[in-house]
Structure formats: C-alpha cells, structure tokens
Structure 1
Amino acid sequence: MRALSLAALLAATPALAEMPEGVTHFTLDNGMEAVVIEDHRAPVVVQMVWYKVGSADEKPGKTGLAHYLEHLMFKGTDKLAPGELSKTVTANGGSDNAFTSYDYTAYFQRIAADRLPLVMEMEADRMQNLRIGEEDWQAERQVVLEERAQRTDSDPSALFGEERSAAQYLNHPYGRPVIGWRAEMEGLTRADALDWYDSNYAPNNAILVLAGDVTPEKARELAEQYYGGIPAKEGVAREARPQEPQQRAPRRMEMTDPRVPQPSLIRTVLVPERNPGDQKMAAALTVLAELLGGSAQTSVLGQKLVMTGKALYAGAGYDGFAVDPTNFYISIAPVEGMEPADAEAALDQVLADFLKEGPDPAQLERVKTQIRAAEVYEQDSAHGRAYEYGQGLATGLTVEDVNDWPDELAAVTAEDVMKAADLVLNSTATVTGWLLPQKAADAGAEIAVESTPPVAAPVGADAPATGGPAVDAPAADIPAAATEETAQ
C-alpha cells in the first residue's frame, strides 16, 4: 500500500467517513471500554490498556508519581516474578512497553495473534494483583531519578521546556513535568505508589484496545474472560483539576546555557483542546499549524523565513489530544549572526502579514490533502490506529469523535483558518521564550519587547486587534508528545 502514489492511494481509499468499518466498540459490565480494530493482513495483534489518569492528576508535592508507578507495574504479581511479563512477551516473539502522559498511562504489547490470550491474562493480572517488594521500590525510584538526569537535567532544551510550561501554566498541573521535579521524586515512597495504584487502576478507569488479526467476537470473548471478572472500583473518576485564570498580558522568558549551540525562540499560546462533539476549532488549528510551519519549502514560515535565509528552522504545531486547554506553538532558529530581536521582529511581521492576507487557496487545499494522506497512512498501521483510539478515549473523546476527525479536517475552510489565526495570533495568553548560548547572553543580547509590531486584525474583523502573536519551539526542543516512556 505504501508503494502507491498519493493520488492512487487517495483514490483507492474509501471515503474517510467510512473509517468505522472494521472497528467495534463495547463496554464490559464492570465499566471497561474496549475498541477492536480488525486488520487480518498479518497474524499479529496489538493490545493496549490505557488508564485515564496521568501526571496532571497527581496531588501537589507528588510530581512524578504516575510515571514512577508505571515503572513499578513491571515488578510482578503473585503469579509473575519481577520482569517476567516482559521476558515472557519477548520469549514469544513480541515486544512491550509503557508510557505516561499528563492525561493517561498506557501499557502495550505487540505479539503473534495466537499468543493474545497470554498477554491479556498477564495484563489483567497486574491490573488487580500488583506486588511491590521492599527491595524494589527504592531501586526503581533511583531508576526514574537517573532517567530524569539523562533525559532532562543534561539537556538544556528539555530544561527550557520545563521553564516554558511552568510559565504558561501558573495554576494548572500541565505546568509540572510528567517525569516530576527532582526534589519531589526523591521523596516518593512505596506507600505513595500503592495508593496511586489502588485509587486509579481499575477496569472502569481503563480502555482496552485490540488491533490486528482478531475478530470482534473473539476479542469480546477474551475481554470477558480476562478482564470481565475484575471488580469495578468506586471513586476512580478523574477529579476536577485547577484551571488557569485569565491571562491578561503576554509573558516573556529568557534562558541561557553554555551547551546551547544557537539561539532559538518558542512562543506558545493557550488554545482549546479537541472536545467531544465539538472539534471544529481543533481541526482549524491543526490546519493552521500545517499552513504556517508544516514544511520548510511550502509553509508560510518556511517560505518567508527559511527559504529567504533568515532562519535555519521555523515551525508551528498543535496537538489537541488533551483533557484541558493545550498549546499552539511557533518556533524559529535564526541564522548565525542574526540578532534575536531582529529574528523575532521578522517572525512577527510574517504572522501579521498572514493575518492581513489569509491563506493561499491552492496551498490550503494542498495542506488539507497532505493531512488527509497522513491520516490514510496512519490507518495502514494497526499500532497507529490503536494509539489514535486509545489516546482519544483516554482524553475524553468518543469513538464517534475519533471516527469523525478526518471529515472535520476536510471540512475546514479559509474562514475557519482565519478564526483560528485570530484566536492564536491576537491572544494575550502567550509565553515567548528564548533559549540562548552563553556567549549571546555575555554579549548583552537583548530581546526588546517593543520590537514586536502590532498584529493586524484578520480579514473581516470589526476592530483592530490588541495583543501580540502567539506560538512554540525549534525541532530539537519539541518532544513528539508530553510523555515519559519506560525502556524495557
């Protein structure tokens, strides 16, 4: 299928509205949701179990607990010795792992279809029978501390990301790192982990996704057999989180580090997430991000900044998979010798021009075609489809929302894009951050706020815009997702 040309691929693919074909959704009596995605091209199946709890649900002072428990979930049960689950999966020719995000924690295995009962039995076992030995919890706490040292403390881009998030979210727990603050991680205990497990790990707080060589009938039979008998728990619904107060003024920050090779800017703005039954703005934000920064050759920022020799990199992005308001970002890394203030002024001018002129109609259609093609390719992967449904349901969407998403993207108009651009580029809920080499700071490089020109009102606006543009960071500074994955 990947060998087809784009035109042939799109022509050969049914209308995306028909995507639910081969997808089955049901709920067990104990409240566990299940999604089955049939794909019989290879005798392989992916099992994913998503818990609707993540680092943003941690109590103050306990950051890193969700990720810590994810590690401890591999420490065994009454039936399984520490590490035995992963060893068994590997011995049967499969692979497994887990990851934690702000809004969910997920565990998965990819294995031969005839071994599916084996991994379902083991996953169901640790859902209810986890054992954390006295010799395990301190050693694993040291493992996650070393992970933080390797992935975050030794990486100025990651440290910069933590600072930006803390500046963007003053009250919401999205401002805390998924892996946790070191001082709080050092205080996590076995009792903390067991309390988190007992409070959140239950079938009525979980989503089972099976994708691959399995029929809906067999999937339901196995789900009933292995998960159906696990009792539901009371009080596992997600608690209300502290929300951000209105941000009335843009925020700015600057961080220097001698390990940074070149200056880079990231600007983020608070924007809506994908909401159940209402994904129109999220779809427009997705298209806007691709128009502004999707390609160095064809995007607005690429053509106006990279291709003209003003920037080494310029990008934009948006990921609407979140329970609460998320970020739209724009980033730029100026060419060597260009002052940061000049680079920021050039960026702001391009954004102001986009608000005046709107998207090129032909480019808008090309971008929508590219997004649709990416969705088509995603459907070619059982794991990719499992991830899409799991992430969607874990962040509050419905199966129908996930199914409707390609149609939502296809329906985006130029007017929708400009509404999204107005929301993003005329917002005051922004954080503009510069990550600078030490030499730039020593040279007294100042980034003047007044260098930002006024942002033009979008086409058709009744009044001039107030406030500055909004956006987020260079490729090296942007993680693929706000997750922490366990290496097995």
Structure 2
Amino acid sequence: MRIPVYLAAFTALLVLSITVRDADARVFDPETATLSNGMQVVVVSKRSAPVITHMVWYKVGAMDEPQGKSGLAHFFEHLMFKGTEKVPAGQFSEIVAKNGGQDNAFTSSDYTAYYQAIAADRLELVMKLESDRMRNLKLDPKEIETERQVILEERRSRTENRPGARLAEQADAAFFMNHPYGRPVIGWAHEIRDLTHDDIKGFYDRWYAPNNAVLVVVGDVDMADVLPLAEKYYGSLPVRDVPDPVAWREPPHQADGTVVLHDRDVTQPSWSKRYLAPSYLYGATEYAYPLQVLAEVLSGGSTSRLYSSLVVQDKVAASAGAWYSADSRGPATLGFYVSPAPGKSLDDAASAMEAKIADILSDGVTEDEVERAIVRLTDAAELAKDSFQGIARTLGAAVTIGRSAQDVEAWPDRIAAVTIDQVNEAMRHVLTDQGALVSKLLPAETSTQEGETTGKGKS
C-alpha cells in the first residue's frame, strides 16, 4: 500500500517530538507532541470502546479580554458554530450528529475549549471541521447580532433570574481588587451590548491560532494515528503573533468585606466566607497540594469534618462544606459555606461555622484525617481513568494553563507525599485574620407595618 506523503514526511517528527511514556505513569499515560507550527498535542490511548473525545483548547479566557470588553471569550463559544466558507452556519453540529457524534464548547476565565465525542474512525472528519474554523470563521454582522441576543438571554436565565448566581457574581467582583477573575465569564450585560464587530474580529485574529492552542484526543487511537492527521489539518495553519498574557497580580487583601443579597425567591438562606489562596501557578505554589488535602479533610463527603460536625452532630446546618481548586493561571480561593437547618437562623449556622474555622486554626488537622483524605483523593484519580471526556478535560486544562501532562501524571504521588505539618502550615498561610469576604443570601426583607415583601430582590 502506498504511504501517504504527509505520513512519510512526519515519521521523523513523530519519533523526535513524542514524549516517551513514563514507565511509572500513574494516571492516564499520555503521549505528547508539538506540531511544526507550535500547536501542542496530547493523546491518551483507551481501547475500551471504538470512540474518541477530540478537544481543541485555546489559551484565552475571560481574563484576557480588554478592559471594558467583557464577554468576548464567551461570545466565541457561540460564534464558532456560525460557519465558514466550507461549512455554512449550523452545519458543523449537524455533520457531527449525522456521523453519530456530539459536540459542544465551554469557556472559563483561563481558557476556551471545543470538543466532539464520536466514533474513532471519524477522527479525520472532526479534525477537518475544527481546523477549518480555527482560522476561517465567517463573522457575519447579522449572525453576531443574533448571538448577542442569545447570550443576553442566557445571562438573564442563568444569572439575573437566580439569586444565588447574582450573589456569586457580586462576590467575585468584590473579592478581586485587581485581577480580572472578578469579571463574570459571560460578561456584564452592558458591555456585551456594546461589543462591536471590530472588537470581535480583533479578538479572533489575536487569539485563535494553532500556536495558541492545545489538541487533546482520548480514546481508541494512539499518537501514531493522531499526529499525521494533526499535522495535515492543524499543522498546515500559519503561526500568528499571539500577545503575551498580562501577568495580573492581586494586591494583599487587608480589609474584610461582606456582600449581602436579599431576594423574594430565596427559600434557603446561605452563608459563605472566602480567602485568597495560592494555586499551582500563582503565589506560594508549594501549598497547592496541601490545600487540596485540607479541602478534602474539611468537605470530602459525609464523614468530613464540617459536614459530620455541623450537619450530623450539632444539627445546626442543612449543608456545610469547603471548596478549593488549584487549577488556575491566577490566584485561587479557599472558601467555606453553610446553610441553616430547619429551626435555625443563618446567624446560628454562620456562628457555628466561624467556630469550626477557629478550631481548625487552633488545633490543626489530625494525622488520621490527612491519611483518609489522601486515600479518597487517590481513589478518585483512579476512577477518573474511565471517563474519556474527564481525561481530556483534566489534561487539556492543565496543559492550557501552562502545566504539563507529566504534572498530571505525578499528581497521585505528590498528593500521597503531603504531610500533616504541610497541611497545617498551608492552612495557617491562607486563613489569616484579615482580607476575607463574607457572602450572605437572604429572603427579601419584610415590612413590619403591612407585612408586604420589600427589599433588594425582584419586585
């Protein structure tokens, strides 16, 4: 059989650029490569079913938007389906569906990603489709206006009509004093309305390029299957001059704050408190792994410290827990939340949570809590091996923000090496006595004169 020219031409590239698999790989056993134009490629071979997940990640998110132009990154989550000369508007998803697949996209502050789940023998098809819209997107003014209205309606339904979402948005904006993590990923409504055709085209031309993208393929393939096709479709696209991301820094948080939202639709009050924290790439990065263990100690299921004490034992809360994620280009947050149990007030629940935070700071965590948290976390990593899309998301997010596939592979070992002293040191580094933000979600205030609902929620 005659070997295709592109396959022969890149045999040497395949040999030279694929990262040798680590014999001690612990999680997904990825192969990595870099195309001739700088596009990164990550492949995980999973032969359990003849299907693949194909994802293209762009190293641009809401934090990269120009000041006053919020919503641009998310706008492209919609516009990328509006067609090229080769694939008219609406046909991208239709072609994927006709071939038995599904497709979608998502945006965050750190990145934007597009994916298809489809039969493995359709890999070339989805590469052809995805690479076409990487550089050949038609930005028709009528389509832009249509999608603008769709996005504004999405914002109304997902944020403006949901008290909890409105509070979260206001809390983010109040918490981050300088970093663009304080701007909503979907954008502020008034700025979405004001985005021009030039704003949108400029954003596409600036960021949508192969040298600013990561290809992740997981499923019934290996790098030998993927790399020649990737070079044919993505590698043929020209390199563009992509600007360096702004190195945003957050100044020290020195003053505590409180954000309160009253709304008539609130039936279950809630309270939360958040602290600025390091991530894998920001701040005191040595604390990222211990903080993950701490979050698991505090909030890892029904036997975790906060749930078992506040909900099960003291019965002061209907729900209670903590959150932390290290996967971000910028600063992370360590936060606590609680909702009161029936018959208890929000002040009761909040005071109980504050007392638990004080206890944790005073006494630290225990050796047994740390050991059990590490077991739960490493067990979860083992279970993650079964999800094609989960694998693609984990590796794609890591590589896109500037980490490596090897960092992901080393995660179980690094978590297992965390000690009780490291957890307590990280906790005390973050849970300082200044700079926290409290959020309260409450029912609408009522008038004592007529008993009518008043306040700051919807009328």
Is the shorter-chain TM-score for this pair beyond 0.5, marking a shared fold?
Answer: yes
Aligned residue type for 1:303: S
Query: Which residue of 210, 224, 228 corresponds with 1:217?
Result: 224
1:48 counterpart = 2:55 = yes
> Cα distance, 1:342 vs. partner?
2.9
Distance 1:278 1:87, change over 3 A: farther
1:76-103 superposed Cα distances (whole Å, 9 cap, x missing partner):
0110010111100000000000001001
In structure 2, the partner of 1:409 is 415
Give runs of ≥4 in structure 1 deviating > 4 Å.
276-279, 439-443
Query: Which residue of 104, 127, 150 corresponds with 2:157?
Result: 150
Query: Which residue of 306, 325, 333 corresponds with 1:327?
Result: 333
Quote the Cα distance in structure 1 between the aligned partners of 2:28 and 2:204: 36
In structure 2, the partner of 1:484 is none
Match of 1:186, SS state, is helix
In structure 2, the partner of 1:348 is 354
> Cα distance, 1:439 vs. partner?
4.3
> Cα distance, 1:279 vs. partner?
5.4
> Cα distance, 1:359 vs. partner?
2.1
Equivalent pair of 2:44/2:217 in contact (CA under 8 Å): yes
Query: Which residue of 264, 268, 273 corresponds with 1:267?
Result: 273
Quote the Cα distance in structure 1 between the aligned partners of 2:79 and 2:126: 18
Quote the Cα distance in structure 1 between the aligned partners of 2:201 and 2:171: 32
Quote the Cα distance in structure 1 between the aligned partners of 2:292 and 2:311: 21
Equivalent pair of 2:54/2:115 in contact (CA under 8 Å): yes
Match of 1:110, SS state, is strand
What is the aligned residue count?
A: 427
> Cα distance, 1:356 vs. partner?
2.6
Distance 1:277 1:270, change over 3 A: closer
Equivalent pair of 1:293/1:330 in contact (CA under 8 Å): no
Quote the Cα distance in structure 2 between the aligned partners of 1:221 and 1:279: 37
Quote the Cα distance in structure 2 between the aligned partners of 1:22 and 1:271: 30
Match of 2:137, SS state, is coil
Match of 1:379, SS state, is helix
Equivalent pair of 1:205/1:236 in contact (CA under 8 Å): no
In structure 2, the partner of 1:430 is 436
Match of 2:67, SS state, is coil
1:24-50 superposed Cα distances (whole Å, 9 cap, x missing partner):
111111110000100011100111000
CA RMSD of superposed structures (Å): 2.0
Match of 1:53, SS state, is coil
Aligned residue type for 1:196: F
Match of 1:418, SS state, is helix
Equivalent pair of 2:52/2:118 in contact (CA under 8 Å): yes
1:107-154 superposed Cα distances (whole Å, 9 cap, x missing partner):
000100000100000100000100022321100100000000110010
1:69-468 paired onto structure 2 within 5 Å: 69-241=76-248, 243-275=249-281, 280-295=286-301, 297-307=302-312, 308-439=314-445
1:411-430 superposed Cα distances (whole Å, 9 cap, x missing partner):
11111110122123225231
> Cα distance, 1:276 vs. partner?
9.0
Quote the Cα distance in structure 1 between the aligned partners of 2:383 and 2:23: 12
Equivalent pair of 1:274/1:320 in contact (CA under 8 Å): yes
Query: Which runs of 5 or more residues in structure 1 are unaligned?
Result: 1-14, 444-488
In structure 1, the partner of 2:15 is none
1:278-297 superposed Cα distances (whole Å, 9 cap, x missing partner):
854111111111111222x3
Equivalent pair of 1:262/1:336 in contact (CA under 8 Å): no
1:434-479 superposed Cα distances (whole Å, 9 cap, x missing partner):
1111148979xxxxxxxxxxxxxxxxxxxxxxxxxxxxxxxxxxxx
Equivalent pair of 2:294/2:370 in contact (CA under 8 Å): no
Distance 1:303 1:17, change over 3 A: farther
Distance 1:426 1:214, change over 3 A: same
Quote the Cα distance in structure 2 between the aligned partners of 1:318 and 1:20: 21
Aligned residue type for 2:34: T
> Cα distance, 1:358 vs. partner?
2.4
TM-score between the two structures when normalised by the length of structure 2: 0.89
Quote the Cα distance in structure 2 between the aligned partners of 1:30 and 1:432: 47
1:174-197 superposed Cα distances (whole Å, 9 cap, x missing partner):
001000111111112222211110
Query: Which runs of 5 or more residues in structure 2 are unaligned?
Result: 1-21, 450-459
1:333-392 superposed Cα distances (whole Å, 9 cap, x missing partner):
012332333322211111222223322322322221111111111111121111111000
Quote the Cα distance in structure 2 between the aligned partners of 1:144 and 1:348: 39
Distance 1:290 1:88, change over 3 A: same
TM-score between the two structures when normalised by the length of structure 1: 0.84
